[in-house]
Structure 1
Amino acid sequence: FKCSDCSRVFRHRVSFISHMRKHSNQRPYVCVQCNNAFKDSSALTKHQRVHSGLKPYTCPLCARAFSQSTNVNRHLKT
């Protein structure tokens, strides 16, 4: 499957469909608590941690908790 916008090629149809959302305004994943909409399910999952307070990523040095892995990685670098 080849993207007509950026020429990127995908082996699987599901990956292609997900990629095509990046070129459109289609946001099918909606938060039931605040109605924010997202292009992919992983973005919605990350967003929902704002409402739940879930912080599954912890610093191995100080045990501080973070809601996203990128935040704990940034914390470790500083």
Structure 2
Amino acid sequence: YNCPECKRVFRYRACLISHTKTHINQRPHICVQCNRAFKDSSALNKHQRIHSGSKPYTCPLCARAFSQSTNLNRH
């Protein structure tokens, strides 16, 4: 799937759809606590962990918890 704006190629249609949001400045998902806006709901959900303090990703070796899976993987 090719992006008509920048010609970037994606294997899945869903990835192209998500990518096309980068070309428009539409951010319909608003954080109710700080009014920060996001392009998709998953980014908003990840952001809201800052306010809630939720750390759902736990290291199986040392039990250290992280708010994002990428931080756990880096650890």
Give the Å deviation of 1:10.
7.7
Residue identity in the other structure for 1:32? V
CA distance in 1, matches of 2:73, 2:15: 27
Instruction: Calculate percent identity across the aligned residue pairs.
Output: 68
Deviations 1:32-66 (A, max 9, x none): 11000011111101000001111000011100000
Check 1:54–1:9 CA distance in 2 against 1; reply closer, same or farther (3 A cut): closer
Structure 1, unpaired ranges of 5+: none
Partner of 1:30: 30
Aligned length: 74
| Whole-Å separation in 2 of the counterparts to 1:5 and 1:39 | 18
- Root-mean-square deviation (CA, aligned residues, Å) is 2.0
Report the counterpart of residue 67 of structure 2 in structure 1: 67
Aligned pair in 2 of structure 1 residues 60, 40: CA closer, same or farther (>3 Å)? same
Residue equivalent to 1:4? 4
| Residues in 1 aligned to 2:65 and 2:28: alpha-carbon distance in whole angstroms | 30
TM-score norm. by structure 2 comes to 0.81
